[in-house]
Amino acid sequence: MHLREREWIGTVARIVVLLLLLVPGIALAASEGGHEGGGLISLDKSLIIQFLNFIILLLILQRLLYKPFLAKMAERTQAIQKSLDEAQAARAEAARQQEENESRLRAAHAEAAAIRAQALKDAADEQKRLVDAARTESQRLVETAKAQMDADVRRARDELRREVADLATAVAEKLVRRSLRDDDHRRIVADAIAKVGN
């Protein structure tokens, strides 16, 4: 039984007990006043019938009104409790969904940070590779320029030697034409060879 139904039955029981306690007093007053004919309440069959009618009316009202009222109240209570349970479940689902969304957001941030770190690492590696390639290329260009310069120097020396040799030959021819002495001739050739050596 529900609490309200117990309270209603207790109320009805109190009314019945109160009436049972009042009946002997009413009967005593009626018997004392019955001899004089001017009593407040006359105790006869109609009072007992009215009392029984009242009890039957209470039982009928309890059966027809009170029990459906209690059933309706219980149904209403269950509907409210169901709504509260559904609201609690919806709140729990919303909290779970929010936690899941926050977890996904944290995972997305972590993935973005990892992608950024990888991109920075790849960029640093690419920059290092380009710097190394540029350094290698510049070294190759320097070596090529140095080799070209050495070749040019050798070519210039060879040309200079040829020119000196031609010059020495021309000088020798001039000297021969002038009929220089051998000492002069040797000295001139030695000077020319010394210049070519330098």
Q: What share of the chain has pLDDT > 70, as a percent?
A: 74
Which pLDDT value is given to residue 30?
54
* 141 in any annotated domain: no
From 101, 81, 77, select the one nearest 89 (Cα to Cα).
81
* Cα–Cα distance for residue pair 7/18, rounded to 1 Å: 16
* Cα–Cα distance for residue pair 24/43, rounded to 1 Å: 10
Give the chain's count of helices (H) and strands (E). 4, 0
Integer angstrom CA distances of residue 61 from 7, 55, 68: 15, 10, 10
* 175 in any annotated domain: yes
* Cα–Cα distance for residue pair 179/185, rounded to 1 Å: 9
Confidence of residue 71 (pLDDT cuts 50, 70, 90): confident
* 80 in any annotated domain: yes
Q: Report the mean per-residue pLDDT for the chain.
A: 79
Which pLDDT value is given to residue 94?
93
Name the domain count of the chain. Answer: 2
| Residue scoring higher pLDDT (59 or 18) | 59
Which residues form the domain of 88?
Answer: 3-94
* 123 in any annotated domain: no
Q: What is the DSSP-derived secondary structure letter of residue 196?
A: H
Which pLDDT value is given to residue 161?
81
* 42 in any annotated domain: yes
